[in-house]
């Protein structure tokens, strides 16, 4: 089977990169042609049935089907994808690092990942007229066909499909907790309770119903709802934790002060890993920017609208994450549970003096956030599935095929969630291999490869240093996570969610 590399196109006057097709069989079937003019391509399929234009191909795929987005829609997507349940674990990291190092590490990680977002935003359209709306395509352009796929496909696959699995596990489990809160205790309640698999199925079905929206731009309202829900549950938890006051005999001393060797070092690295994995969504930056209009004129590039959305969204994200970490550690100290973080701590210590409505509202907002995040994280997978269909059939994906492909993906993620309900325990290992380098290292190397700054200059040195440090840190985090699993064990409850 040949390899077809779609290159992003907008209405520009610049010549575009030619699509590479490597297959003898494609020569005998309708192919894909490059578009080199600003007036729109006349496709060879329209003339002779032997090809389709690049612009037409892009208009058939869900990420680039609609480029009518704006700063507000980009902000909604960024907030929905950038705030996740991993933020609830930030006080756990503070418990291991202490006040000073916790705040320092969180601040450095925030500025570092914001800088790599700036790099990606500017690499989306490296020259006027050429757009890269998919991470893998930018990686191939930066590093070449083989290396580009090697470094980008696994992180992109995990951060899309793998994160959807984690959302099913989290969302389905939270649905069960919500049911138990409002269900009266007793035998009758237990008899009505569903199994973990059934809760996962309910969440997946709800996500797939919403997932029938055709393209990334069409789920802007869903992302808006998800952003409001994420901001809501983060704010509610830290505000309520402060209002309830500190626990009796709370301590802020680091539990690993008395530990030496690999154990103490591993605890510190795991805490740093929690902080770094709390920042997410870098695998979607190019895709979100791809929904924005852009012209070949330097006065109206997509990066200006996108960067405004990034600044607004990450100011809001900072006002969620920093208070969550600081207030959570202040309220619970080193008594905060490692599993579940501040949400588990609040439920454990304040269940008796907090109304069911408030706790239920927090769980409901978390469920809504997971359902909304599922849509945007699944979109790159939907795009790839439809791309395969389009390149084979050389025509737009019909609605029933699109629905079938998305049902297939939903069923697959549901199966993985049921088969591996302990996947969240492996997140530090897999996240260290995939999320950390993609968030903190790869954009720096892409900038050097594409922009080619002067050797030993400021930008060259900065990006090389950050990229290398990100790779080293990724390796250390994986080693620490594996050590932690070997030390504490893994509850591998296959097919028993």
Domain boundary assignment for the chain: 1-59, 68-381+398-488
249 has a pLDDT exceeding 50? yes
**Tens of pLDDT, residues 410-445:** 999 999 999 999 999 999 999 999 999 999 999 999
What integer pLDDT is reported at residue 40 of this predicted model?
35
CB atoms within 10 A of CB 434: 20
Q: What is the mean pLDDT of residues 464-483?
A: 96
What integer pLDDT is reported at residue 16 of this predicted model?
40
**Tens of pLDDT, residues 138-163:** 999 999 999 999 999 999 988 999 99
Q: How confident is the model at residue 184 (pLDDT cuts 50, 70, 90)?
A: low
Q: How confident is the model at residue 352 (pLDDT cuts 50, 70, 90)?
A: confident
| % pLDDT > 90, the chain | 69
293 has a pLDDT exceeding 70? yes
Q: What is the mean pLDDT of residues 90-110?
A: 96
**Lowest model confidence (mean pLDDT) among 37-51, 270-284, 347-361:** 37-51
What integer pLDDT is reported at residue 260 of this predicted model?
61
Nearest CA to 137 out of 304, 387, 340 is that of: 387
What integer pLDDT is reported at residue 313 of this predicted model?
98
What integer pLDDT is reported at residue 410 of this predicted model?
97
10 has a pLDDT exceeding 50? no
262 has a pLDDT exceeding 50? yes
Top CATH class of 68-381+398-488 equals mainly alpha
Asked whether the CA dihedral 293, 298, 303, 308 is positive or negative, the reply is: negative
271 has a pLDDT exceeding 70? yes
Question: What is the spatial distance between Cα 296 and Cα 55, in angstroms, rounded to a whole number?
Answer: 15
475 has a pLDDT exceeding 60? yes
92 has a pLDDT exceeding 80? yes
Place of tokens 């077809």: 4
119 Cβ partners below 8 Å, 6+ apart?
Answer: 443, 444, 446, 447, 463
Average pLDDT, the chain: 86
**Tens of pLDDT, residues 54-79:** 778 888 999 999 999 999 999 999 99
The token pair at 359 is: 């706790």
9 has a pLDDT exceeding 80? no
Cα–Cα distances in Å, from 178 out to 92, 108, 341, 352, 380? 24, 36, 18, 16, 30
């Amino acid at each position: 089977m040949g390899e077809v590399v779609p290159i992003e196109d907008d209405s520009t006057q610049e010549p575009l990169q030619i699509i590479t097709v490597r297959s003898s069989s494609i020569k005998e079937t309708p192919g894909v042609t490059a578009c080199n003019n600003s007036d729109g391509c006349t496709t060879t399929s329209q003339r002779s049935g032997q090809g389709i234009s690049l612009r037409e191909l892009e208009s058939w795929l869900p990420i680039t089907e609609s480029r009518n987005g704006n700063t507000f829609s980009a902000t909604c997507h960024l907030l929905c994808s950038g705030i996740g349940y991993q933020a609830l674990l930030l006080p756990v990291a503070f418990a291991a690092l202490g006040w000073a190092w916790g705040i320092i590490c969180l601040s450095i990680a925030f500025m570092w990942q914001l800088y790599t977002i700036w790099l990606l935003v500017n690499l989306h359209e490296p020259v006027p007229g050429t757009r890269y709306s998919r991470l893998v395509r930018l990686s191939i352009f930066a590093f070449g066909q083989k290396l580009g796929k090697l470094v980008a496909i696994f992180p992109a696959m995990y951060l899309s499909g793998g994160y959807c699995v984690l959302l099913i596990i989290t969302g389905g489990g939270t649905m069960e907790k919500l049911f138990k809160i409002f269900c009266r205790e007793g035998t009758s309640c237990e008899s009505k309770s569903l199994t973990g698999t059934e809760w996962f199925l309910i969440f997946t079905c709800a996500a797939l119903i919403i997932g029938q929206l055709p393209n990334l731009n069409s789920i802007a309202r869903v992302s808006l709802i998800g952003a409001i829900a994420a901001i809501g549950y983060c704010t509610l938890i830290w505000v309520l934790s402060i209002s309830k006051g500190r626990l009796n005999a709370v301590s802020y001393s680091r539990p690993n002060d008395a530990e030496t060797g690999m154990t103490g070092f591993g605890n510190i690295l795991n805490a740093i890993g929690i902080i770094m994995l709390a920042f997410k969504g870098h695998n979607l930056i190019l895709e979100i920017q791809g929904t924005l209009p852009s012209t070949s004129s330097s006065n109206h590039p997509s990066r200006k609208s996108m960067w405004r959305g990034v600044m607004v969204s990450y100011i809001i994200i900072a006002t969620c994450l920093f208070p969550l970490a600081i207030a959570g550690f202040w309220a619970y100290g080193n008594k905060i549970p490692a599993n579940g973080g501040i949400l588990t701590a609040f439920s454990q210590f304040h269940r008796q003096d907090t109304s069911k409505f408030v706790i239920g509202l927090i769980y409901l907002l978390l469920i809504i956030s997971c359902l909304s995040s599922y849509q945007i994280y699944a979109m790159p997978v939907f795009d790839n599935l439809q791309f395969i269909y389009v390149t084979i059939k050389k025509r737009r994906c019909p609605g029933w095929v699109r629905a079938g492909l998305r049902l297939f993906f939903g069923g697959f993620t549901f199966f993985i969630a049921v088969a591996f309900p302990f996947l969240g325990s492996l997140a530090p290992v897999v996240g260290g291999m995939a999320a950390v380098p993609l968030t903190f290292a790869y954009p720096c190397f892409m900038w050097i490869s594409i922009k080619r700054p002067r050797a030993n200059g400021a930008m060259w040195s900065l990006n090389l240093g950050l990229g290398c440090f990100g790779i080293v840190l990724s390796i250390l985090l994986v080693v620490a996570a594996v050590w932690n699993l070997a030390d504490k064990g893994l509850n591998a409850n296959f097919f028993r969610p």
